[in-house]
Chain A
Amino acid sequence: MKNYFSLVLFTYLSQAAIGMVFVREFLIISGNISRGSRSVLNSYHIISLLLIISLLAAFFHLGRPQNAIHAVRNITSSPLSMEIASMSMLIFFALLGSISMIYSMPRFVTTPLPSLMVIASFLLLVTMTMVYLLPAVPAWNRPFTPLVFTFTALSAGTAIMSLLMFHHDTAISLRLIAISSLALLIMAVAYITRLSWGEPRLLGITLIISLLTVVALTAFILTVRSSDMNKSFRLVVISAVAIISSGLIARIVFFLSYDNTVL
């Protein structure tokens, strides 16, 4: 398969952004952080940045990017069209959110933004999953795909939010990195289970994912035990880097498992 690195980048980064939206809104609704806090402000910018990078990756993945304007013509039947429309909506709301953090905007614009971002994120996650549930690609057309996409959003989103929140709210940051590590652990188990009975040729790479999962969990445990803030932050960074690296490697495995097995 061609150009799958751009697809790895596109799917992983956009799922990380989706996860960040969900985690941020959950933390706000549950009263753990306020909507005006520094972490929330920064999260808008990071989400916009992640989405723009993933959009560029998707754009340059196309063989003829100049025709990209036609990509939503088949929105009623093509999951890819639906995904592109959801992505465009999310980017629009995320950029609007970023701008509203810098310049003041009317309340009728800013008030519905978080809800709209959650809806667009959910739609993007669903349509992105639909894109890969193809009967012609048995390797992807199984419950493994929605499971992995959901847990990637959860693990990457919480890891990045944890980094953003460490200096403002260390306790929540540590809880987030714990959730992220556990989500990654579930993903690693899913990959090993699937590959061990389906595609042993990818088992080596899957073991790397498992190793990075262990690194992430170890770093997290050391963080909890550490009383030195600087050391703790370094350990959270190590944990987050391990989580993101293993997520990216797992996504490469996902695309490598593409096998139009019939012909």
Chain B
Amino acid sequence: MSKLAFYVDTTACSGCKACQVACNDKNDLWPGISWRRVYEVEVGEWKERDGVITEKPAGYYISMSCNHCENPECLKSCPSKALFQTLDGLVLVNPDLCIGCFYCEWSCPYGALNFDFNTGIMSKCDACEDLLFIGKNPACVDACPMRVLKFGNFREMANEFGEITQIFPLPDYSMTRPGILLKPHDASKGAVDDNAGVNNTQNYRQ
């Protein structure tokens, strides 16, 4: 099975959310549902010396959707086998089987699954399967004005861009083996729970 992946250049992302808007538009997503999200990561610390406080703030953005993991937790936890993996490694939802129990949403460490209140089932990024079929890129990739996103074969892109699969605050790669490659922002080096955090997770919590 050839593994597909998104490449995200976090050094170039300006956080404009054009990818998110393009995704919502292409997939007719209702307000409150975001298959692609742009996380604002803040890093920094301050020190007090002789009554003077010095600070070193920094920040970067991570555009994130379903990473179509090789070992997806959502798929293992889905009680009705509504989630399935295609031969290309895409993780998709079968709406005829989904019971809308939210369990996949809990299981996914990337928060990639969204409950659709209109249909009563879970919804998620399908990597614009219809566009891929006719040889085009996913909508988010082509919408990015900074050319931050790319989509393609994991191995080929890893050879071209390097195989960095985890930066703060993403979970350990071994958990689900996600289809994601990253160019890390300088500020992400040394970012840990104590000195960094995601500023806008609440925007995406349903």
CB of A192, distance to nearest CB on chain B (Å): 23
CA distance A134 to B108 in the complex (A): 9
Q: How far is the CA of A134 from the CA of B110 in the complex (A)?
A: 13
- Interface segment, one of A79-87, A88-96, A174-182, A228-236: A79-87
Assess the A71–B79 pair: CB atoms within 8 A: yes
Are B108 and A71 interface neighbours, CB within 8 A?
Answer: no
Chain A: minimal CB distance from B126 (Å): 19
Asked whether any CB of chain B lies closer than 8 Å to the CB of A137, the reply is yes
The residues in B between 107 and 121 inclusive whose CB is less than 8 angstroms from any CB of A are: 107-111, 115-117, 119-121
Verify if A36 is at the interface (C-beta below 8 Å from B).
Answer: no
Q: Is A225 an interface residue (CB 8 A)?
A: no
Give chain B residues whose Cβ lies under 8 Å from the Cβ of A62: 99-101, 120
The SS class assigned to the A binding surface is loop
In whole angstroms, how far apart are the Cα atoms of A131 and B77 in the complex? 9
> Is A63 at the interface (CB under 8 A from chain B)?
yes
Identify whether the interface residues of B are mostly helix, strand, loop, or mixed.
loop
Chain A 11-33 interface mask (CB, 8 Å, partner B; 1/0): 00000000000000000000000
- Contact A263/B81 with A61-B101, A64-B99 known, Cβ cut-off 8 Å: no
A64 and B79 contacting across the interface, CB-CB below 8 Å: no
Q: Does B80 contact A (CB under 8 A)?
A: yes
Q: Would you call B97 and A80 a contact (CB within 8 A)?
A: no
Contact of A84 among B79, B119, B120, B171 (CB under 8 A): B79
- Residues of A contacting B101 with CB < 8 Å? 61-63, 71, 80
Within 8 A of B (CB), among A132-158: 134-137
Q: Given A73-B97, A80-B101, A137-B106, are A64 and B169 neighbors across the interface (CB < 8 Å)? A: no
Determine whether the beta carbon of A136 is less than 8 Å from that of B100. Answer: no
B109 near A78 with CB under 8 A, answer no
In the complex, are the beta carbons of A131 and B103 less than 8 A apart?
yes
**Contact yes or no, A263 B39, CB < 8 A:** yes
Cβ B39 vs Cβ A77 within 8 A = no
The residue of chain B having its C-beta at the shortest distance from the C-beta of A131 within the complex is B103
Does B18 have its Cβ within 8 Å of any Cβ on chain A?
Answer: no
Q: How far is the CA of A71 from the CA of B78 in the complex (A)?
A: 9
How far is B121's CA from A78's CA once the two chains are assembled, in angstroms? Answer: 18
A75 to chain B, nearest CB (A): 8
User: A72 in the interface, Cβ–Cβ < 8 Å?
Assistant: yes
Contact A74 B79, beta carbon cutoff 8 Å: yes
Contacting residues, chain A, for B157 (C-beta < 8 A): none
Q: Which residue of A lies closest to B100 (CB)?
A: A63
Q: Which positions 242-263 of chain A face chain B at CB distance < 8 Å?
A: 258, 260, 262-263
Encoded as 1 (CB less than 8 Å from any A CB) or 0, chain B from 53 to 92 comes to 0000000000010000000010011111110000000000
Q: Write out the residue numbers on chain B whose beta carbons fall within 8 Å of the beta carbon of A111.
A: none
- A26 smallest CB distance to B (angstroms): 32
- Which residue from chain A places its CB closest to the CB of B122 in the assembled complex? A63
B109's contact among A2, A61, A68, A136, by CB below 8 Å, is which? Answer: A136
Choice from B79, B100, B115 contacting A78 with Cβ under 8 Å:
B79
Interface flags, A89-119, vs B, CB<8A=1, else 0 = 0000000000000000000000000000000
What's the Cα separation between A263 and B175 when bound, in Å? 14
Question: Apart from A63-B100, A63-B119, A263-B170, what are 16 other A-B pairs with CB-CB below 8 Å?
Answer: A62-B101, A63-B98, A63-B115, A63-B121, A64-B121, A70-B80, A73-B80, A131-B103, A135-B73, A260-B106, A262-B110, A262-B111, A262-B171, A263-B109, A263-B111, A263-B204
